Structure 1
Protein backbone atom coordinates (compact mmCIF):
# COMPACT_ATOMS: atom_id res chain seq x y z
CA UNK A 1 0.00 0.00 0.00
CA UNK A 2 1.34 3.43 -0.94
CA UNK A 3 2.22 5.82 1.84
CA UNK A 4 -0.47 8.52 1.89
CA UNK A 5 0.87 10.49 4.87
CA UNK A 6 1.24 14.21 4.08
CA UNK A 7 4.81 15.32 3.47
CA UNK A 8 4.20 18.57 5.35
CA UNK A 9 2.13 18.59 8.53
CA UNK A 10 0.39 21.80 9.56
CA UNK A 11 -0.95 22.66 13.00
CA UNK A 12 -2.22 25.92 14.47
CA UNK A 13 -1.45 26.66 18.12
CA UNK A 14 -3.10 29.94 18.96
CA UNK A 15 -1.39 32.49 16.73
CA UNK A 16 1.49 30.11 15.94
CA UNK A 17 1.58 28.05 12.76
CA UNK A 18 3.64 24.89 13.27
CA UNK A 19 4.89 23.26 10.06
CA UNK A 20 6.53 19.83 10.29
CA UNK A 21 8.41 18.18 7.43
CA UNK A 22 7.32 14.54 7.31
CA UNK A 23 9.78 12.53 5.20
CA UNK A 24 11.84 10.77 7.90
CA UNK A 25 12.50 7.77 5.62
CA UNK A 26 14.38 10.14 3.26
CA UNK A 27 16.05 12.21 6.00
CA UNK A 28 13.34 14.85 5.49
CA UNK A 29 14.96 15.76 2.18
CA UNK A 30 13.33 18.26 -0.16
CA UNK A 31 11.39 16.74 -3.03
CA UNK A 32 9.59 18.85 -5.65
CA UNK A 33 6.29 18.13 -3.89
CA UNK A 34 7.68 19.21 -0.51
CA UNK A 35 9.14 22.36 -2.02
CA UNK A 36 5.74 23.24 -3.48
CA UNK A 37 3.99 22.49 -0.17
CA UNK A 38 6.43 24.70 1.77
CA UNK A 39 6.00 27.61 -0.62
CA UNK A 40 2.22 27.34 -0.42
CA UNK A 41 2.22 27.12 3.38
CA UNK A 42 4.47 30.14 3.89
CA UNK A 43 2.67 32.29 1.31
CA UNK A 44 -0.72 31.47 2.84
CA UNK A 45 0.58 32.15 6.35
CA UNK A 46 1.79 35.58 5.25
CA UNK A 47 -1.76 36.46 4.21
CA UNK A 48 -3.47 34.97 7.29
CA UNK A 49 -4.10 37.68 9.91
CA UNK A 50 -4.45 35.06 12.65
CA UNK A 51 -0.89 33.80 12.13
CA UNK A 52 1.69 35.87 13.99
CA UNK A 53 4.67 33.49 13.99
CA UNK A 54 5.71 30.38 12.02
CA UNK A 55 7.75 27.51 13.47
CA UNK A 56 9.31 25.02 11.04
CA UNK A 57 10.59 21.63 12.23
CA UNK A 58 10.70 18.00 11.08
CA UNK A 59 9.75 14.50 12.20
CA UNK A 60 12.31 12.51 14.19
CA UNK A 61 15.76 13.53 15.39
CA UNK A 62 17.97 12.03 12.66
CA UNK A 63 17.65 15.08 10.44
CA UNK A 64 15.92 18.43 10.24
CA UNK A 65 16.51 18.28 6.49
CA UNK A 66 19.23 16.67 4.40
CA UNK A 67 18.72 19.02 1.47
CA UNK A 68 17.58 18.01 -1.99
CA UNK A 69 16.45 14.43 -2.55
CA UNK A 70 19.55 13.25 -4.42
CA UNK A 71 18.16 9.76 -5.06
CA UNK A 72 15.28 11.30 -6.95
CA UNK A 73 17.67 13.60 -8.84
CA UNK A 74 19.96 10.68 -9.74
CA UNK A 75 16.98 8.82 -11.20
CA UNK A 76 16.04 11.86 -13.26
CA UNK A 77 19.64 12.11 -14.51
CA UNK A 78 19.48 8.47 -15.61
CA UNK A 79 16.27 9.21 -17.47
CA UNK A 80 17.94 12.14 -19.23
CA UNK A 81 15.73 14.79 -17.63
CA UNK A 82 17.49 18.18 -17.70
CA UNK A 83 18.14 20.01 -14.45
CA UNK A 84 16.16 23.23 -14.21
CA UNK A 85 17.91 26.04 -12.31
CA UNK A 86 15.91 26.98 -9.24
CA UNK A 87 15.21 30.53 -10.41
CA UNK A 88 14.20 29.38 -13.91
CA UNK A 89 11.35 27.12 -12.85
CA UNK A 90 7.64 27.87 -13.04
CA UNK A 91 7.41 27.29 -9.29
CA UNK A 92 8.62 29.89 -6.80
CA UNK A 93 12.09 29.46 -5.24
CA UNK A 94 11.37 27.89 -1.86
CA UNK A 95 14.18 29.55 0.12
CA UNK A 96 13.21 32.95 -1.24
CA UNK A 97 9.56 32.37 -0.32
CA UNK A 98 10.51 31.45 3.25
CA UNK A 99 12.95 34.38 3.56
CA UNK A 100 10.41 36.93 2.31
CA UNK A 101 7.56 35.74 4.56
CA UNK A 102 6.32 38.83 6.41
CA UNK A 103 5.73 36.95 9.70
CA UNK A 104 8.54 36.03 12.13
CA UNK A 105 9.89 32.55 11.39
CA UNK A 106 11.76 30.08 13.61
CA UNK A 107 13.51 26.88 12.53
CA UNK A 108 13.49 24.23 15.26
CA UNK A 109 16.43 22.04 14.28
CA UNK A 110 15.65 18.60 15.68
CA UNK A 111 18.51 17.02 13.73
CA UNK A 112 21.29 17.88 11.24
CA UNK A 113 20.55 20.64 8.74
CA UNK A 114 22.79 20.23 5.72
CA UNK A 115 22.91 21.37 2.08
CA UNK A 116 19.44 22.64 1.12
CA UNK A 117 18.29 21.81 4.64
CA UNK A 118 20.82 24.28 5.99
CA UNK A 119 19.64 26.85 3.45
CA UNK A 120 16.04 26.25 4.53
CA UNK A 121 17.03 26.96 8.14
CA UNK A 122 19.08 29.97 6.99
CA UNK A 123 15.98 31.39 5.29
CA UNK A 124 14.22 31.55 8.68
CA UNK A 125 14.73 34.51 11.04
CA UNK A 126 15.71 32.51 14.13
CA UNK A 127 17.21 29.05 14.67
CA UNK A 128 17.02 26.79 17.73
CA UNK A 129 19.20 23.68 17.53
CA UNK A 130 19.40 20.47 19.53
CA UNK A 131 22.90 19.86 20.87
CA UNK A 132 23.60 16.95 18.48
CA UNK A 133 22.80 19.00 15.38
CA UNK A 134 25.43 19.57 12.70
CA UNK A 135 25.24 22.28 10.06
CA UNK A 136 26.95 22.38 6.71
CA UNK A 137 27.05 22.90 2.98
CA UNK A 138 28.59 19.90 1.17
CA UNK A 139 27.62 21.26 -2.26
CA UNK A 140 31.25 21.69 -3.38
CA UNK A 141 31.72 17.95 -2.76
CA UNK A 142 28.67 17.12 -4.91
CA UNK A 143 29.24 19.51 -7.81
CA UNK A 144 26.23 21.56 -6.76
CA UNK A 145 25.86 25.30 -6.16
CA UNK A 146 24.42 26.37 -2.75
CA UNK A 147 23.08 29.48 -4.49
CA UNK A 148 20.94 30.79 -1.60
CA UNK A 149 23.75 30.23 0.92
CA UNK A 150 26.26 31.93 -1.42
CA UNK A 151 24.18 35.08 -1.11
CA UNK A 152 22.89 34.87 2.45
CA UNK A 153 25.63 33.21 4.51
CA UNK A 154 28.19 36.07 4.15
CA UNK A 155 25.42 38.42 5.37
CA UNK A 156 24.92 36.39 8.54
CA UNK A 157 28.45 35.43 9.59
CA UNK A 158 31.93 36.89 8.97
CA UNK A 159 32.94 36.36 5.35
CA UNK A 160 35.92 34.16 6.23
CA UNK A 161 33.63 31.76 8.13
CA UNK A 162 31.15 31.77 5.26
CA UNK A 163 33.82 31.01 2.68
CA UNK A 164 35.29 28.25 4.84
CA UNK A 165 31.91 26.54 5.07
CA UNK A 166 31.26 26.98 1.36
CA UNK A 167 34.74 26.03 0.05
CA UNK A 168 35.50 23.10 2.35
CA UNK A 169 32.02 21.63 2.59
CA UNK A 170 32.69 20.55 6.17
CA UNK A 171 30.10 20.47 8.94
CA UNK A 172 30.11 22.52 12.12
CA UNK A 173 28.48 21.78 15.47
CA UNK A 174 25.40 23.48 16.85
CA UNK A 175 27.57 25.16 19.47
CA UNK A 176 29.92 26.55 16.82
CA UNK A 177 26.84 27.73 14.95
CA UNK A 178 25.70 29.58 18.06
CA UNK A 179 29.16 31.10 18.53
CA UNK A 180 29.14 32.48 14.99
CA UNK A 181 25.55 33.76 15.15
CA UNK A 182 23.98 31.10 12.92
CA UNK A 183 22.07 29.61 15.83
CA UNK A 184 20.21 31.56 18.51
CA UNK A 185 19.93 28.82 21.13
CA UNK A 186 21.32 25.31 21.68
CA UNK A 187 19.21 22.95 23.78
CA UNK A 188 19.34 19.28 24.82
CA UNK A 189 18.33 16.65 22.28
CA UNK A 190 14.58 16.48 21.85
CA UNK A 191 13.92 20.00 23.18
CA UNK A 192 14.38 22.17 20.10
CA UNK A 193 10.70 22.34 19.23
CA UNK A 194 9.61 23.13 22.79
CA UNK A 195 12.15 25.97 22.98
CA UNK A 196 11.14 27.32 19.56
CA UNK A 197 7.47 27.28 20.55
CA UNK A 198 8.32 29.09 23.78
CA UNK A 199 10.07 31.79 21.74
CA UNK A 200 7.12 31.93 19.34
CA UNK A 201 4.67 32.39 22.21
CA UNK A 202 6.75 35.28 23.53
CA UNK A 203 6.83 36.84 20.05
CA UNK A 204 3.04 36.53 19.77
CA UNK A 205 2.65 38.56 22.95
CA UNK A 206 3.91 41.58 20.99
CA UNK A 207 2.07 43.86 18.56
CA UNK A 208 1.49 42.21 15.14
CA UNK A 209 1.78 45.55 13.34
CA UNK A 210 5.18 46.20 14.93
CA UNK A 211 6.40 42.70 14.14
CA UNK A 212 5.41 43.00 10.50
CA UNK A 213 7.08 46.41 10.17
CA UNK A 214 10.28 45.08 11.75
CA UNK A 215 10.37 42.01 9.49
CA UNK A 216 9.57 43.79 6.23
CA UNK A 217 11.94 46.67 6.88
CA UNK A 218 14.79 44.36 7.89
CA UNK A 219 14.35 42.20 4.79
CA UNK A 220 13.85 44.98 2.25
CA UNK A 221 16.56 47.26 3.64
CA UNK A 222 19.24 44.59 3.44
CA UNK A 223 22.02 45.95 1.25
CA UNK A 224 20.54 49.42 0.83
CA UNK A 225 22.50 52.53 1.78
CA UNK A 226 21.46 53.75 5.24
CA UNK A 227 19.70 56.95 4.02
CA UNK A 228 17.59 54.90 1.57
CA UNK A 229 16.88 52.20 4.17
CA UNK A 230 15.69 54.77 6.73
CA UNK A 231 13.16 56.10 4.23
CA UNK A 232 11.47 52.74 3.63
CA UNK A 233 7.83 52.66 4.69
CA UNK A 234 6.94 48.98 4.46
CA UNK A 235 3.53 47.66 5.49
CA UNK A 236 1.20 49.21 8.03
CA UNK A 237 2.79 52.00 10.06
CA UNK A 238 2.86 51.10 13.77
CA UNK A 239 3.06 54.80 14.63
CA UNK A 240 -0.48 55.49 13.38
CA UNK A 241 -1.96 52.08 14.24
CA UNK A 242 -4.60 51.03 16.75
CA UNK A 243 -2.02 48.66 18.22
CA UNK A 244 0.23 51.60 19.14
CA UNK A 245 -2.65 53.33 20.95
CA UNK A 246 -3.54 50.08 22.72
CA UNK A 247 0.05 49.36 23.68
CA UNK A 248 0.52 52.75 25.31
CA UNK A 249 -2.85 52.53 27.08
CA UNK A 250 -2.11 49.03 28.38
CA UNK A 251 1.25 50.16 29.75
CA UNK A 252 -0.29 53.15 31.54
CA UNK A 253 -3.18 51.05 32.89
CA UNK A 254 -0.83 48.21 33.90
CA UNK A 255 -2.70 45.52 31.97
CA UNK A 256 -2.04 43.09 29.15
CA UNK A 257 -2.63 44.65 25.70
CA UNK A 258 -5.28 43.29 23.35
CA UNK A 259 -3.78 43.48 19.88
CA UNK A 260 -5.94 43.86 16.79
CA UNK A 261 -3.24 43.87 14.15
CA UNK A 262 -4.28 47.18 12.72
Structure 2
Protein backbone atom coordinates (compact mmCIF):
# COMPACT_ATOMS: atom_id res chain seq x y z
CA UNK A 1 0.00 0.00 0.00
CA UNK A 2 1.28 3.47 -0.91
CA UNK A 3 1.57 6.63 1.12
CA UNK A 4 1.81 9.81 -0.94
CA UNK A 5 2.38 13.33 0.42
CA UNK A 6 -0.41 15.82 0.15
CA UNK A 7 -0.64 17.82 -3.09
CA UNK A 8 -2.50 21.12 -3.27
CA UNK A 9 -4.06 22.25 -6.53
CA UNK A 10 -4.28 25.95 -7.29
CA UNK A 11 -8.06 25.61 -7.01
CA UNK A 12 -7.74 24.74 -3.32
CA UNK A 13 -8.24 20.97 -3.61
CA UNK A 14 -5.75 18.96 -1.54
CA UNK A 15 -5.21 15.30 -2.47
CA UNK A 16 -3.49 12.68 -0.36
CA UNK A 17 -3.12 8.90 -0.51
CA UNK A 18 -3.21 6.80 2.64
CA UNK A 19 -2.82 3.15 1.69
CA UNK A 20 -5.77 2.28 -0.52
CA UNK A 21 -7.71 5.38 0.62
CA UNK A 22 -7.61 8.64 -1.34
CA UNK A 23 -8.33 11.74 0.76
CA UNK A 24 -9.70 14.95 -0.78
CA UNK A 25 -9.78 18.13 1.28
CA UNK A 26 -11.56 21.30 0.16
CA UNK A 27 -9.06 23.94 1.29
CA UNK A 28 -10.57 27.39 0.74
CA UNK A 29 -11.46 28.21 4.37
CA UNK A 30 -11.50 31.95 3.66
CA UNK A 31 -14.41 31.28 1.26
CA UNK A 32 -15.96 28.53 3.40
CA UNK A 33 -14.69 26.01 0.80
CA UNK A 34 -17.05 27.40 -1.85
CA UNK A 35 -17.11 25.42 -5.07
CA UNK A 36 -15.44 27.62 -7.66
CA UNK A 37 -15.46 26.45 -11.27
CA UNK A 38 -11.78 25.48 -10.96
CA UNK A 39 -12.38 23.51 -7.77
CA UNK A 40 -15.27 21.62 -9.35
CA UNK A 41 -13.16 20.80 -12.40
CA UNK A 42 -10.25 19.51 -10.32
CA UNK A 43 -12.50 17.41 -8.10
CA UNK A 44 -14.23 15.84 -11.12
CA UNK A 45 -10.85 15.02 -12.69
CA UNK A 46 -9.53 13.48 -9.46
CA UNK A 47 -12.65 11.38 -8.97
CA UNK A 48 -12.48 10.08 -12.53
CA UNK A 49 -8.84 9.17 -11.90
CA UNK A 50 -9.84 7.27 -8.76
CA UNK A 51 -12.30 5.23 -10.78
CA UNK A 52 -9.47 4.24 -13.14
CA UNK A 53 -6.94 3.37 -10.42
CA UNK A 54 -7.35 -0.15 -8.99
CA UNK A 55 -5.22 0.82 -6.00
CA UNK A 56 -7.87 3.31 -4.82
CA UNK A 57 -10.52 1.37 -2.95
CA UNK A 58 -12.21 4.12 -0.93
CA UNK A 59 -12.34 7.92 -0.83
CA UNK A 60 -12.73 10.37 2.05
CA UNK A 61 -13.99 13.87 1.24
CA UNK A 62 -13.66 16.61 3.84
CA UNK A 63 -13.19 20.36 4.22
CA UNK A 64 -10.70 22.58 6.02
CA UNK A 65 -11.98 25.18 8.44
CA UNK A 66 -15.36 25.84 10.07
CA UNK A 67 -17.38 24.78 7.00
CA UNK A 68 -17.36 21.57 5.01
CA UNK A 69 -18.64 23.49 2.00
CA UNK A 70 -20.87 26.52 1.50
CA UNK A 71 -21.92 25.52 -2.01
CA UNK A 72 -21.22 27.26 -5.30
CA UNK A 73 -18.97 30.31 -5.21
CA UNK A 74 -21.57 33.11 -5.24
CA UNK A 75 -18.93 35.84 -5.55
CA UNK A 76 -17.62 34.16 -8.70
CA UNK A 77 -21.17 33.91 -10.09
CA UNK A 78 -21.88 37.56 -9.27
CA UNK A 79 -18.67 38.67 -11.01
CA UNK A 80 -19.80 36.75 -14.10
CA UNK A 81 -23.19 38.51 -13.93
CA UNK A 82 -21.54 41.93 -13.60
CA UNK A 83 -19.34 41.21 -16.62
CA UNK A 84 -22.39 40.29 -18.70
CA UNK A 85 -21.40 36.64 -18.86
CA UNK A 86 -23.84 33.86 -19.64
CA UNK A 87 -24.76 31.71 -16.62
CA UNK A 88 -25.67 28.16 -17.54
CA UNK A 89 -27.83 25.86 -15.37
CA UNK A 90 -25.90 22.94 -13.80
CA UNK A 91 -26.91 20.31 -16.36
CA UNK A 92 -26.33 22.59 -19.40
CA UNK A 93 -22.59 23.06 -18.96
CA UNK A 94 -19.81 21.61 -21.16
CA UNK A 95 -18.28 19.66 -18.28
CA UNK A 96 -19.95 16.94 -16.24
CA UNK A 97 -21.89 17.84 -13.11
CA UNK A 98 -19.74 17.37 -10.02
CA UNK A 99 -22.61 15.84 -8.04
CA UNK A 100 -23.38 13.38 -10.83
CA UNK A 101 -19.73 12.29 -10.97
CA UNK A 102 -19.62 11.81 -7.19
CA UNK A 103 -22.78 9.70 -7.20
CA UNK A 104 -21.63 7.63 -10.18
CA UNK A 105 -18.10 6.95 -8.91
CA UNK A 106 -18.16 3.29 -7.87
CA UNK A 107 -15.32 3.75 -5.43
CA UNK A 108 -17.12 4.24 -2.09
CA UNK A 109 -16.98 7.85 -0.87
CA UNK A 110 -17.21 8.82 2.80
CA UNK A 111 -18.00 12.46 3.61
CA UNK A 112 -16.37 13.79 6.78
CA UNK A 113 -18.53 16.77 7.73
CA UNK A 114 -16.51 18.67 10.29
CA UNK A 115 -18.47 21.87 9.61
CA UNK A 116 -21.57 23.28 7.96
CA UNK A 117 -22.69 21.77 4.64
CA UNK A 118 -25.19 24.04 2.92
CA UNK A 119 -26.50 24.67 -0.60
CA UNK A 120 -24.21 22.93 -3.09
CA UNK A 121 -22.11 21.77 -0.15
CA UNK A 122 -25.09 19.84 1.18
CA UNK A 123 -25.71 18.45 -2.32
CA UNK A 124 -22.07 17.35 -2.43
CA UNK A 125 -22.52 15.54 0.88
CA UNK A 126 -25.77 13.97 -0.37
CA UNK A 127 -23.93 12.61 -3.41
CA UNK A 128 -21.47 10.73 -1.19
CA UNK A 129 -22.30 7.23 0.03
CA UNK A 130 -21.73 7.61 3.77
CA UNK A 131 -21.75 10.73 5.94
CA UNK A 132 -20.12 11.25 9.34
CA UNK A 133 -20.81 14.62 10.96
CA UNK A 134 -19.83 16.79 13.89
CA UNK A 135 -22.55 17.79 16.39
CA UNK A 136 -24.70 20.85 15.78
CA UNK A 137 -23.58 21.66 12.25
CA UNK A 138 -26.05 23.18 9.79
CA UNK A 139 -27.27 21.22 6.78
CA UNK A 140 -29.71 22.44 4.17
CA UNK A 141 -30.62 23.92 0.82
CA UNK A 142 -31.25 27.69 1.00
CA UNK A 143 -31.44 28.03 -2.81
CA UNK A 144 -35.09 29.17 -2.77
CA UNK A 145 -34.04 32.20 -0.70
CA UNK A 146 -31.50 33.38 -3.31
CA UNK A 147 -33.22 32.43 -6.56
CA UNK A 148 -31.17 29.32 -7.31
CA UNK A 149 -32.60 25.87 -8.05
CA UNK A 150 -30.93 23.07 -6.02
CA UNK A 151 -31.17 20.88 -9.11
CA UNK A 152 -29.45 17.84 -7.58
CA UNK A 153 -30.96 18.24 -4.13
CA UNK A 154 -34.49 18.58 -5.50
CA UNK A 155 -34.14 15.16 -7.09
CA UNK A 156 -32.16 13.33 -4.42
CA UNK A 157 -33.52 14.66 -1.13
CA UNK A 158 -37.05 13.23 -1.67
CA UNK A 159 -35.40 9.86 -2.30
CA UNK A 160 -33.69 10.03 1.10
CA UNK A 161 -36.46 11.51 3.24
CA UNK A 162 -40.25 11.44 3.55
CA UNK A 163 -41.65 13.81 0.94
CA UNK A 164 -43.10 16.24 3.50
CA UNK A 165 -39.75 16.73 5.26
CA UNK A 166 -37.88 17.02 1.97
CA UNK A 167 -40.29 19.61 0.61
CA UNK A 168 -40.23 21.63 3.83
CA UNK A 169 -36.44 21.83 3.59
CA UNK A 170 -36.50 22.67 -0.12
CA UNK A 171 -39.34 25.19 -0.12
CA UNK A 172 -38.44 27.09 3.06
CA UNK A 173 -34.66 26.97 2.66
CA UNK A 174 -34.34 26.45 6.41
CA UNK A 175 -31.46 24.47 7.87
CA UNK A 176 -31.54 21.34 9.99
CA UNK A 177 -28.85 20.10 12.37
CA UNK A 178 -26.64 17.07 12.02
CA UNK A 179 -28.61 15.48 14.86
CA UNK A 180 -31.85 15.88 12.87
CA UNK A 181 -30.13 14.40 9.83
CA UNK A 182 -28.87 11.43 11.82
CA UNK A 183 -32.37 10.76 13.15
CA UNK A 184 -33.68 10.69 9.57
CA UNK A 185 -30.82 8.54 8.27
CA UNK A 186 -29.19 11.28 6.17
CA UNK A 187 -26.10 11.09 8.40
CA UNK A 188 -24.70 7.73 9.45
CA UNK A 189 -23.40 8.95 12.78
CA UNK A 190 -22.59 12.09 14.75
CA UNK A 191 -19.26 12.13 16.61
CA UNK A 192 -17.26 14.85 18.37
CA UNK A 193 -15.76 17.30 15.88
CA UNK A 194 -12.18 16.18 16.47
CA UNK A 195 -13.19 12.57 15.79
CA UNK A 196 -15.01 13.14 12.48
CA UNK A 197 -12.04 12.77 10.14
CA UNK A 198 -10.42 9.89 12.07
CA UNK A 199 -13.77 8.06 12.10
CA UNK A 200 -14.20 8.62 8.35
CA UNK A 201 -10.66 7.40 7.65
CA UNK A 202 -11.18 4.33 9.83
CA UNK A 203 -14.43 3.50 8.05
CA UNK A 204 -12.85 4.03 4.63
CA UNK A 205 -9.96 1.81 5.68
CA UNK A 206 -12.36 -0.90 6.75
CA UNK A 207 -14.07 -0.75 3.35
CA UNK A 208 -10.73 -0.71 1.52
CA UNK A 209 -9.65 -3.88 3.37
CA UNK A 210 -12.45 -5.87 1.74
CA UNK A 211 -12.42 -7.56 -1.67
CA UNK A 212 -12.34 -4.64 -4.13
CA UNK A 213 -14.42 -6.36 -6.81
CA UNK A 214 -17.09 -7.26 -4.27
CA UNK A 215 -17.22 -3.70 -2.94
CA UNK A 216 -17.54 -2.19 -6.41
CA UNK A 217 -20.18 -4.74 -7.45
CA UNK A 218 -22.26 -4.05 -4.34
CA UNK A 219 -22.15 -0.26 -4.68
CA UNK A 220 -22.86 -0.30 -8.40
CA UNK A 221 -25.73 -2.74 -7.98
CA UNK A 222 -27.22 -0.81 -5.06
CA UNK A 223 -27.10 2.50 -6.96
CA UNK A 224 -28.48 1.17 -10.24
CA UNK A 225 -31.09 -1.09 -8.66
CA UNK A 226 -32.55 1.56 -6.35
CA UNK A 227 -35.58 2.44 -8.47
CA UNK A 228 -35.98 -0.86 -10.33
CA UNK A 229 -38.58 -3.58 -9.68
CA UNK A 230 -37.19 -6.44 -7.58
CA UNK A 231 -37.20 -9.02 -10.38
CA UNK A 232 -35.31 -6.66 -12.69
CA UNK A 233 -32.87 -5.55 -10.01
CA UNK A 234 -31.96 -9.12 -9.07
CA UNK A 235 -30.99 -9.79 -12.67
CA UNK A 236 -28.66 -6.82 -13.03
CA UNK A 237 -25.15 -7.81 -13.99
CA UNK A 238 -23.13 -4.62 -13.50
CA UNK A 239 -19.45 -4.12 -12.95
CA UNK A 240 -16.92 -6.89 -12.36
CA UNK A 241 -18.34 -10.25 -11.31
CA UNK A 242 -16.80 -11.25 -7.95
CA UNK A 243 -18.31 -14.76 -8.11
CA UNK A 244 -15.98 -15.60 -11.00
CA UNK A 245 -12.89 -13.86 -9.62
CA UNK A 246 -9.59 -15.05 -8.21
CA UNK A 247 -10.40 -13.00 -5.11
CA UNK A 248 -13.47 -15.14 -4.43
CA UNK A 249 -11.28 -18.25 -4.27
CA UNK A 250 -8.67 -16.42 -2.18
CA UNK A 251 -11.28 -15.01 0.21
CA UNK A 252 -12.84 -18.39 0.93
CA UNK A 253 -9.42 -20.02 1.35
CA UNK A 254 -8.23 -17.27 3.71
CA UNK A 255 -11.42 -17.55 5.78
CA UNK A 256 -11.06 -21.31 6.17
CA UNK A 257 -7.33 -21.05 6.86
CA UNK A 258 -7.92 -18.27 9.40
CA UNK A 259 -5.55 -15.77 7.76
CA UNK A 260 -5.85 -12.35 6.15
CA UNK A 261 -6.75 -12.48 2.46
CA UNK A 262 -4.38 -11.10 -0.17
CA UNK A 263 -6.62 -9.39 -2.71
CA UNK A 264 -5.45 -9.17 -6.30
CA UNK A 265 -8.44 -7.27 -7.68
CA UNK A 266 -8.93 -10.00 -10.28
- Would the TM-score normalized by the shorter structure come out above 0.5? yes
Counterpart pick for 1:176 among 180, 186, 205: 180
In structure 2, what is the Cα distance between the partners aligned to 1:107 and 1:193?
A: 9
2:140 aligned with 1:136 = yes
The structural deviation recorded for 1:135 is 0.4
Partner Cα distance (1:16, 1:22) in 2:
19
TM alignment of 1:25-104, pairs within 5 A: 25-60=30-65, 62-104=66-108
Residue 21 of structure 2: aligned partner: 16
Q: After the TM superposition, which of the residue ranges 239-248 and 43-52 deviates more from structure 2?
A: 239-248
| Distance in structure 2 (CA, Å) of the matches to 1:119 and 1:239 | 35
Structure 1 unaligned spans of 5+: none
**Alpha-carbon distance, 1:4 to partner:** 8.0
CA distance in 1, matches of 2:129, 2:234: 21
Residue 191 of structure 1: how far off its partner (Å): 1.9
Residues 4, 89 of structure 1: CA spacing in aligned structure 2 closer, same or farther, 3 A cutoff?
closer
Structure 1 contact 132–189 (Cα < 8 Å) conserved: no
The whole-number CA distance in structure 2 between the counterparts of 1:199 and 1:4 is 26
Instruction: Report the Cα offset of residue 155 of structure 1.
Output: 1.1
Q: Give the length in aligned residue pairs.
A: 259
Question: What is the DSSP-based 3-state SS (H/G/I as helix, E as strand, rest coil) of the residue aligned with 1:190?
Answer: helix
Distance 2:248 2:164 in 1: 42
Question: Which runs of 5 or more residues in structure 2 are unaligned?
Answer: 1-7
For residue 252 of structure 2, the aligned residue among 248, 253, 260 is 248
Q: Alpha carbon RMSD of aligned pairs, Å?
A: 1.3
Structure 2 match to 1:148? 152
Normalising by structure 2, we get a TM-score of 0.95
Which residue does 2:4 correspond to in 1? none
Q: Could you tell me the TM-score, scaled by structure 1's length?
A: 0.96
CA–CA distance in structure 1, aligned partners of residues 185 and 168 of structure 2: 15
Q: Please give the alpha-carbon distance, in whole angstroms, between the structure 2 residues aligned to 1:72 and 1:143.
A: 16
